[in-house]
């Protein structure tokens, strides 16, 4: 068993004002303390070395002996050029509240290696999960991938990129890399659309660079290219006023999934931009996520 540590006060401090004026735990701090008693973490596990760079992930494993447990694999956002797994920790707390395991994944950003490196890394992280599932009580039949923005793109790419694309060659293996569902928060679905024209985005240009084959490379890492029958269910959350990742990416994905009769839902946030949703909108979103997971029999028994 790899070395583990108990979730510590660092997580509590990230979550809560710690103590009220009368010395009692606030509701938020009490919730954090509850999580601390229910989880252990294995931090900064190297799952792959590529470009002379150690790629790491954190595992938040439920202490409940009734496993194996459904498990969330989270990929952070940042346009493939920024962000970190540590900066995304608050995004996974709703799943920990549900008693899920969480695998929080770091990957190569553009300054280390440009496309398709991030997609390669995330596929290798999924293979690592399969190979280490027993050690952490992970139910590989109930793996859900999720992420925000570029993390949404990487979730989709991890879930639906076929082996024939050759993007898992850095971590070859015989495992059939499947996930049970995708929760896509305003992810990029057509990378080439962001390289030029009305939707051009600096982060996409940086990720692809000036290579001669950048449009072909962009297609190779675009989830829309791989939509086909038999894919896992997909829930997409997207604001219709998003100018960082155009709402049309969500609509086109939804339409493609519908054509192949893949179970999916597009949850549109009216007037919503690139995240920053209101409390009421966030409550509505997580209610929809729970309903989606329940519909596909992915909640804990």
pLDDT digits (tens, 9 = 90+) for 184-232: 999 999 999 999 999 999 999 999 999 999 999 999 999 999 999 999 9
Helix (H, G, I), strand (E, B) or coil at 161: coil
Check which CATH number belongs to the domain holding 101 and give it: 3.40.50.1820
Question: What's the pLDDT score for residue 272?
Answer: 98
Is residue 244 within 8 Å of residue 201, measured between CB atoms? yes
pLDDT band with cut points at 50, 70 and 90 for residue 47: very high
Q: What angle do CA 77, 103, 101 make, to 5 degrees?
A: 130
Backbone angles phi, psi at 27, to 5 degrees: -60, -40
Is residue 105 a part of any domain in this protein? yes
Is residue 3 a part of any domain in this protein? no
Residue 178 and residue 196: Cα distance in Å, rounded? 33
Find the domain containing 56 and state its range.
Answer: 37-295
Eight-class DSSP state of 198: G
Is residue 27 a part of any domain in this protein? no
Residue 235 and residue 263: Cα distance in Å, rounded? 9
Domain count, the chain: 1
Is residue 21 a part of any domain in this protein? no
Residue 33 and residue 7: Cα distance in Å, rounded? 9
- Is it the case that residue 3 has pLDDT exceeding 90? no
Is residue 28 a part of any domain in this protein? no
Is residue 12 a part of any domain in this protein? no
Eight-class DSSP state of 273: B
Token pair listed for 41: 């973490």
Is residue 230 a part of any domain in this protein? yes
Backbone angles phi, psi at 259, to 5 degrees: -60, -35
pLDDT band with cut points at 50, 70 and 90 for residue 300: confident
Residue 73 and residue 57: Cα distance in Å, rounded? 10
Question: What's the pLDDT score for residue 13?
Answer: 40
Is residue 161 a part of any domain in this protein? yes
Question: What's the pLDDT score for residue 25?
Answer: 67
- Whole-model pTM? 0.92
- Is it the case that residue 21 has pLDDT exceeding 70? no
Distance from the Cα of residue 192 to its chain's centroid? 21
Residue at token pair 């596909």: 296
Is residue 233 within 8 Å of residue 296, measured between CB atoms? yes
């Amino acid at each position: 068993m790899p070395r583990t540590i108990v979730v510590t006060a660092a997580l509590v401090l990230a979550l809560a004002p710690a103590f009220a004026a009368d010395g009692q735990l606030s509701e938020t701090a009490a919730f954090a303390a509850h999580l601390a008693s229910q989880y252990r973490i294995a931090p900064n596990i190297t799952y792959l070395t590529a470009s002379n760079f150690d790629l790491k992930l954190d595992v938040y494993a439920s202490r409940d002996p009734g496993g194996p447990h459904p498990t969330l694999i989270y990929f952070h956002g940042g346009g493939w050029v920024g962000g970190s797994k540590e900066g995304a920790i608050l995004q996974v707390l709703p799943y920990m509240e549900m008693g899920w395991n969480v695998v929080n994944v770091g990957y190569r950003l553009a300054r280390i290696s440009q496309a398709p490196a991030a997609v390669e890394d995330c596929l290798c992280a999924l293979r690592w999960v399969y190979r280490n599932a027993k050690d952490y009580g992970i139910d590989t039949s109930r793996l859900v991938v999720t992420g925000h923005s570029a993390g949404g793109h990487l979730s989709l790419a991890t879930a639906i990129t076929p082996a024939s694309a050759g993007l898992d060659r850095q971590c070859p293996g015989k495992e059939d890399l499947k996930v049970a569902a995708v929760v896509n928060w305003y992810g990029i679905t057509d990378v080439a659309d962001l390289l030029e024209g009305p939707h051009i985005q600096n982060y996409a240009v940086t990720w692809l660079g000036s290579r001669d084959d950048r449009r072909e490379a962009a297609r190779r890492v675009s989830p829309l290219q791989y939509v086909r029958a038999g894919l896992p269910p997909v829930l997409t959350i997207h604001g219709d006023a998003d100018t960082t990742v155009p709402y049309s990416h969500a609509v086109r994905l939804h339409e493609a999934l519908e054509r192949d009769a893949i179970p999916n839902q597009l949850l549109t946030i009216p007037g919503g931009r690139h995240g920053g949703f209101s409390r009421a909108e966030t409550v509505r979103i997580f209610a929809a996520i729970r309903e989606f997971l329940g519909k596909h029999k992915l909640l804990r028994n």
